[in-house]
Amino acid sequence: MYVLHYSPDTASVIVRLALEELGQPYQARRIDREAGELASPAYRALHPLGLIPAFESPDGPMFETAAILLYLSEKHRALAPQPGSPGRAAFLKWLFFTSTNIHPTLLQLFYPERTAGPGCTDAVLAHASDRMRTYLGIIDAMIARDAPDWLSPGQPSVLGYYLGVLVRWLSSYGTGHPSHFSAAEFPALNRVLAAHEARPAALRTAEAEGLGPTIFTAPVY
Ligand SMILES: N[C@@H](CCC(=O)N[C@@H](CS)C(=O)NCC(=O)O)C(=O)O
């Protein structure tokens, strides 16, 4: 059985959403962050940087959210265009766009001191906010233009869940904050996320991790 090492409302929830949507049995093992488990030798054997998530599969331990999502979607032939199918190239392009641009920029917004030290946080935040607006605008325009079925209101996808959680966190700053973004600013993306958050898999995940209602489009913190 899969084992997901998780902490509520961190990147592990993206993997949990995919597992719930796939209907795959898994064990959710809560990480004891306060006890320093992320730095423990046992956890570092699963994830050398001590980050969340770590994931145990029959093919070995895994880390990196996008890699786990890709692995699960191929293994269970769902939630993404499969190798050889028409949408595959575009799907891969936008999955990696998300994991290498949007996700790291979001981490800069939450931990601006990690980029260039505590003296540079204002500059890092300003640049990261601008980039985030650009990235989400590009995704929104792509959905409106191409209407891809692998990122649509009509069917769930690993990319829909990935973007949903990232947009969720961007709402946590609260309106008025320069780094606050809400899904409503990006109408095509908003429609995709609204459909994903209403699915039974998302509702079960929200219940399990105490995330509240409308977890992507209007999260309550
Ligand atoms: N690129 C990694 C990023 C993982 C990551 O940054 N996880 C955060 C939680 S959302 C974490 O472990 N934070 C703990 C820390 O930074 O100490 C992935 O996609 O899995």
Which domains does the chain carry?
2-75 (3.40.30.10), 88-209 (1.20.1050.10)
Verify cis geometry, omega within 30 degrees of 0, for the bond prior to 58.
no
pLDDT greater than 90 at residue 176:
no
What pLDDT is stored for residue 202 in this prediction?
A: 98
Q: By C-alpha distance, which of 48, 61, 59, 58 is closest to 5?
A: 61
pLDDT greater than 90 at residue 179:
no
pLDDT greater than 90 at residue 175:
no
Distance CA 160, CA 150 (A): 8
CA of 146 to the centre of ligand 1 (A): 31
CA of 104 to the centre of ligand 1 (A): 9
Chain center to CA of 105: 13
pLDDT greater than 90 at residue 221:
no
What pLDDT is stored for residue 67 in this prediction?
A: 98
Q: Whose CA is nearest to atom 1 of ligand 1?
A: 64
Span 9-38, average pLDDT = 98
Q: Whose CA is nearest to atom 13 of ligand 1?
A: 51
What pLDDT is stored for residue 178 in this prediction?
A: 77
Closest ligand 1 atom, residue 52 Cα: 12
| Two tokens, residue 216 | 């992507």
Share of the chain above pLDDT 70, in %: 100
Closest ligand 1 atom, residue 63 Cα: 20
Q: Whose CA is nearest to atom 6 of ligand 1?
A: 51
pLDDT greater than 90 at residue 174:
no
Closest ligand 1 atom, residue 7 Cα: 9
Question: Full-prediction pTM beyond 0.75?
Answer: yes
CA of 109 to the centre of ligand 1 (A): 13
Which of 121-125, 130-134, 208-212 has the weakest average pLDDT? 121-125
Residues 6+ positions from 54 with CB-CB distance below 8 Å? 5, 43, 46, 47, 61, 62, 63
Distance CA 7, CA 3 (A): 13
Share of the chain above pLDDT 90, in %: 92
Pocket test for ligand 1, best of 7, 12, 52, 161 (most atoms within 8 A of CB): 52
Q: By C-alpha distance, which of 89, 190, 194 is closest to 143?
A: 190
* Contact by Cβ (8 Å): 47, 54: yes
Which of 51-55, 133-137, 175-179, 209-213 has the weakest average pLDDT? 175-179
- Measured from CB, residues less than 6 Å from any atom of ligand 1 are 10-11, 51-52, 63-65, 103, 107
Residue 60 host element (H or E): strand 60-63
Closest ligand 1 atom, residue 66 Cα: 19
- Angle of the 158-171 helix axis to the 88-97 helix axis, nearest 10: 20
Which of 18-27, 34-43, 155-164, 177-186 has the weakest average pLDDT? 177-186
Residue 195's pLDDT band (cuts 50, 70, 90): very high
Instruction: Give the CA distances from residue 181 to residues 133, 156, 202, in Å, rounded to whole numbers and listed in that order.
Output: 8, 23, 21
CA of 145 to the centre of ligand 1 (A): 32
